[in-house]
Amino acid sequence: MNSVVTFPNRIPTVEFEERRFQVYTDRQLDKIEVIQNLPEETLFEMKVVASVLPFRVNEYVINELIDWDKVPNDPLYQLVFPQKGMLKEEHFERMAKLHREGADKKLIQSVAKEIRDELNPHPAGQMEMNLPTLNGEPLEGLQHKYRETVLFFPAQGQTCHSYCTFCFRWAQFVGDKDLKMASTDADKLHGYLAQHTEISDLLMTGGDPMVMKTKHLVQYLEPLLQPEFDHIQTIRIGTKALTFWPYRFVTDKDADELIELFAKLVDAGKHVALMAHYNHWQEITTEISEEAIRRIRATGAEIRAQGPLIKHVNDDADAWAKLWKKQVQLGIIPYYMFVERDTGAKNYFEVPLAKAYEVYREAMKQVSGLGRTARGPSMSAGPGKVEIQGIAEIKGEKVFVLRFLQGRNPDWVQRPFFAKYSDTATWLHELEPAFGEEKFFFEDEYEKMRKGNG
């Protein structure tokens, strides 16, 4: 029997029935009824791509968020369903040949691993440069790139309610232990935080920590209320659940306990911020998604929205403006517009930096000051978060005006620098210094850091 959650203080009273979570992976493509109407070749292409890149979608996304009359151009369909172009042509044909020939599963998995290894599974030096140590031992499941912020990957949260096809953490989801970052050791997390009082922010990430039971979140977060963790001022939780499964915050069996945990952390003086991943305004079109937002904000926690600019989904200024306006209306803070990272299906989703800046600028022109809190377009590159501040002509040379929003060396932050203008560059390493300079100001120091000498 379905349970019903009622909110009597709301006028009119809204009731939401508990919804069964039903998920489909690459092994259940033939069980998704609505896609069986698609061309046979399209279904084959899905199967081929899903044998290399992770695929997972749930019934709520299929039935409530995708406009099937607009497929294949619907942005949410592109967001979750595999497309042929997500693999380079040579990779696609190699894998397609195996499927056509009926190759055994072991061979398909072996070739898939070879292809994945060519897709830069861990960008920006995250496995080599970000791994901290405690008492001389490396801490698996932690990343410490910036001085004030530590990322923690709880093992119970290393999946998602659905997978984004562009996800830069795709390597977490393909079943390869060598590519995965995760930890179940709360004591080591707390030990590291206790030793490093320069850290003010803990970011729980994944995957999606909101797939975890609340009791596991309590294990990691409640100890931070002890006096020895007073320096941990902010607890961030990266999540796509507000899009892919808002029932997590409303009708799931431990949803009330989750909301109570947020309230307890806030009441104890912690700043709790859900870092919500939104890519398109279509994601906030259901009553349940709005109710989830309302419940979270009622605890005193805030919601900040971020997501990349990606081709086929949101490379359009009007879509971003509509998204930001809706977020502001619901009390969400627009936070970041990212550039698609140089990993996975980047060849399918990437947008030239010049176009990304124009989309950002045109979207900003359409919103009020409260919507202009979104920073970007920003590249989360090896040296740090680099923002495109503008395109200008200086002394007869057309240039990108850039700055660090965050850097491996805090002294780099807010320092402007300039790159030659390019119509085609999509990432930092494709840019060249302007005005005849041989290197960007940070390159020598970053290279020393990369080699472990900095």
Query: What φ, ψ does residue 366 adopt, rounded to 5°?
Result: -100, -5
Q: Where are the alpha helices (DSSP H) in 56-148?
A: 59-60, 75-80, 89-100, 105-117
pLDDT of 12 reads 43
Q: Which helix (H) or strand (E) holds 234?
A: strand 234-239
pLDDT band at 169 (very low <50, low <70, confident <90, very high): confident
pLDDT of 124 reads 55
User: Is 391's pLDDT higher than 60?
Assistant: yes
Q: Are 52 and 91 in contact (CB under 8 A)?
A: yes
User: Is 406's pLDDT higher than 70?
Assistant: yes
Cα 384 to Cα 373: distance, rounded to the nearest angstrom: 20
pLDDT, tens digit, 9 for 90 and up, residues 297-314: 999 999 999 999 999 999
Q: Are 201 and 275 in contact (CB under 8 A)?
A: no
- Alpha-carbon separation of residue 389 from 305, 358, 384, 417 (angstroms): 20, 11, 15, 10
Identify which of 431, 315, 434, 424 has the alpha carbon closest to the alpha carbon of residue 383: 431
pLDDT band at 42 (very low <50, low <70, confident <90, very high): very high
Question: Residue 1: exposed, middle, or buried by beta-carbon count in 10 A (0-12, 13-18, 19+)?
Answer: exposed
- Alpha-carbon separation of residue 452 from 126, 178, 199, 219, 381 (angstroms): 14, 22, 22, 34, 18
Cα 195 to Cα 201: distance, rounded to the nearest angstrom: 14
pLDDT of 260 reads 98
Q: Are 16 and 5 in contact (CB under 8 A)?
A: yes
Q: Which helix (H) or strand (E) holds 209?
A: none
User: Is 9's pLDDT higher than 90?
Assistant: no
Q: Which helix (H) or strand (E) holds 365?
A: none
| pTM for the predicted model, two decimal places | 0.92
Identify which of 313, 242, 302 has the alpha carbon closest to the alpha carbon of residue 276: 242
Q: Which helix (H) or strand (E) holds 53?
A: none
Average the pLDDT over each of 147-151, 207-211, 241-245, 449-453 and give the range with the smallest value.
Answer: 449-453
pLDDT of 415 reads 94
pLDDT of 451 reads 85
pLDDT of 173 reads 78
pLDDT of 288 reads 98
Which of 125-139, 221-235, 340-354 is modeled with the greatest confidence? 221-235
pLDDT band at 11 (very low <50, low <70, confident <90, very high): very low
Question: Residue 402: exposed, middle, or buried by beta-carbon count in 10 A (0-12, 13-18, 19+)?
Answer: buried
Q: What is the DSSP letter of 63?
A: I
Whole-number average pLDDT of the chain: 92
pLDDT, tens digit, 9 for 90 and up, residues 248-272: 999 999 999 999 999 999 999 999 9
pLDDT of 181 reads 63
- Enter the tokens of residue 440: 């960007």
Cα 290 to Cα 64: distance, rounded to the nearest angstrom: 14
pLDDT band at 183 (very low <50, low <70, confident <90, very high): confident
State the average pLDDT over residues 6-15. 52
pLDDT, tens digit, 9 for 90 and up, residues 322-344: 999 999 999 999 999 999 988 88
